[in-house]
């Protein structure tokens, strides 16, 4: 541990190098949308990993948007704990009308903060992780357990580069998603978007509307927009019902929501609307799945539709999720529960307290990350990183330099301790 103490002290001495590394990452313009712009940044990450003796795989998730995964095999992988460090290289969109103090991709330091798009969400966390691995390598630290570093694309637009990492077989005994969390250990609720479509099998001229709604009109028809209004009311009823019957520790009541976000319908004022589409966003609790909540919604809406004479014969159709908000106008973020009894969580709590001299909080995030995909793949996972949520996606985004230094220290000691611990042997250390 004397060796690690020396490395931790070097974080302070080389603080400017850490800041410079994060600044280099921020200067790569990787906003999503528009996306398809991360290749140069990912090549930079891949080069850093290779310099630190990682074996690197890089593949296109979309053209000009590759994932990068670096693996450093441990000296005794069969017996010792392995670790995934995960983060996304894309950053939030920058609108041309936003009043930034300076160019968002030309970072600068002021009053103890590093400013720039992505500093908080989450190139700060990525940079700290790369720097921690570099310091360990510089000091000749050989870990018994494996370390897998994942720099993924698409998190900001639901493209789940992390999901592809899981599908390619990358796994470990524990995973840290080093996304914005204020150095609090977090799980998360889940999110899924969906489209509800109402469509008529007939088209009516606007002049025929009287025949559809008047006694003896002889035209059995309806406006798809008006029927969608009923469906929106039913979704509101179901949402209110969820607020009463569903709870989860760490969330305020009513956090499970159904948001009617976008509505599209009709073709021209001279027609009765023969089709209407509703785009909804559903938030659910960590003890639920996107499959279970979408089934609840479908069952309820179809049951209510059966009481409407027209919808009974023209039931609404549902399309859930998608691999990309850009390509498919849909996304999924699975929920992530935290098992506080798991060795990795207990180890992280121990290291955080040892470095920062205070107990780390464990809570649930109302925002979402790729952590749910790792959890769904059976990998015990937590979200733990620098940066404050209030600055993520914000104009003049920033991150505290103190938090970057503190996080790097915690990460160095955690990597060292975790990968030097035999599976199931944490009680010998704590």
3-state secondary structure 91-130: EECCCCCCCCCCCCCCCEEECCEEECCCHHHHHHHHHHHH
DSSP states along 264-323: EE-S-TTB---EEEEEEEEEE-TTS-HHHHHHHHHHHHHHHHTTSTTTTTS--EEEE--S
Interatomic CA distance for residues 344 and 337, integer angstroms: 14
**Tokens 């005994």 -> residue:** 173
Q: Is 155 a catalytic residue?
A: yes
Q: With H, G, I as helix, E, B as strand and everything else as coil, classify residue 173.
A: coil
Half-sphere exposure of 135 (CA within 13 A, CB side): 31
Give the separation between CA 279 and CA 395, rounded to whole angstroms.
27
User: 410 with 355: CB under 8 angstroms?
Assistant: yes
Q: Write down the catalytic residue from 23, 65, 90, 376.
A: 90
Residues 6+ apart with CB under 8 A from 16: none
Of residues 23, 121, 134, 155, which has the active-site annotation? 155
| Packing angle of the helix pair 15-27, 39-51 (nearest 10 deg) | 150
- List the catalytic residues: 90, 155
């Amino acid at each position: 541990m004397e060796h690690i103490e020396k490395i931790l002290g070097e974080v302070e001495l080389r603080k400017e190098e850490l800041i410079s590394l994060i600044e280099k990452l921020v200067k790569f313009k990787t906003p999503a949308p528009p996306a398809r712009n991360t290749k140069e940044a990912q090549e930079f990450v891949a080069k850093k990993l290779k310099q630190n003796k990682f074996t690197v795989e890089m593949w296109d998730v979309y053209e000009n948007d590759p994932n990068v995964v670096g693996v450093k095999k441990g000296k005794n992988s069969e017996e010792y704990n392995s670790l995934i460090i995960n983060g996304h290289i894309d950053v939030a969109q920058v609108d041309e009308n936003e009043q930034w103090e300076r160019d968002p991709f030309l970072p600068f330091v002021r009053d103890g903060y590093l400013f720039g798009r992505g500093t908080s969400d989450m190139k700060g966390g990525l940079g700290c992780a790369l720097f921690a691995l570099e310091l360990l390598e510089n000091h000749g630290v050989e870990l018994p357990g494996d370390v897998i570093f994942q720099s993924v694309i698409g998190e900001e637009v639901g493209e789940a580069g992390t999901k592809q990492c899981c599908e390619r077989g990358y796994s470990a005994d524990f995973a840290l998603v080093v996304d914005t969390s204020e150095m609090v250990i977090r799980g998360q609720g889940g999110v899924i978007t969906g489209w509800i479509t109402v469509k008529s099998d007939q088209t009516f001229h606007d002049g025929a509307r009287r025949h559809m709604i008047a006694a003896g009109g002889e035209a059995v028809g309806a406006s798809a927009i008006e029927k969608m209004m009923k469906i929106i009311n039913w979704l509101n009823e179901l949402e209110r019902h969820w607020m009463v019957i569903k709870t989860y520790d760490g969330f305020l009541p009513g956090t499970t929501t159904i948001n009617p976000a976008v509505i599209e319908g009709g073709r021209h004022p001279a027609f009765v609307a023969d089709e209407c589409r509703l785009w909804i966003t559903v938030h659910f609790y960590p003890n639920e799945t996107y499959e279970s909540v979408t089934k609840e919604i479908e069952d309820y809406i179809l049951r209510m539709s059966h009481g409407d004479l027209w919808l009974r014969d023209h039931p609404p159709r549902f399309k859930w999720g998608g691999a990309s908000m850009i390509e498919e106008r849909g996304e999924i973020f699975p929920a992530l529960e935290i098992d506080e009894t798991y060795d990795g969580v207990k180890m992280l709590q121990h290291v955080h307290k040892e470095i920062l001299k205070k107990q780390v909080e464990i809570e649930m995030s109302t925002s979402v990350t790729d952590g749910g995909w790792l959890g769904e793949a059976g990998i015990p996972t937590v979200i733990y990183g620098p940066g404050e949520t209030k600055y993520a996606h914000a104009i003049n985004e920033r991150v505290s330099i103190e938090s970057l230094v503190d996080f790097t220290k915690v990460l160095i000691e955690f990597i060292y301790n975790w990968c030097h611990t035999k599976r199931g042997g944490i009680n010998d250390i704590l």
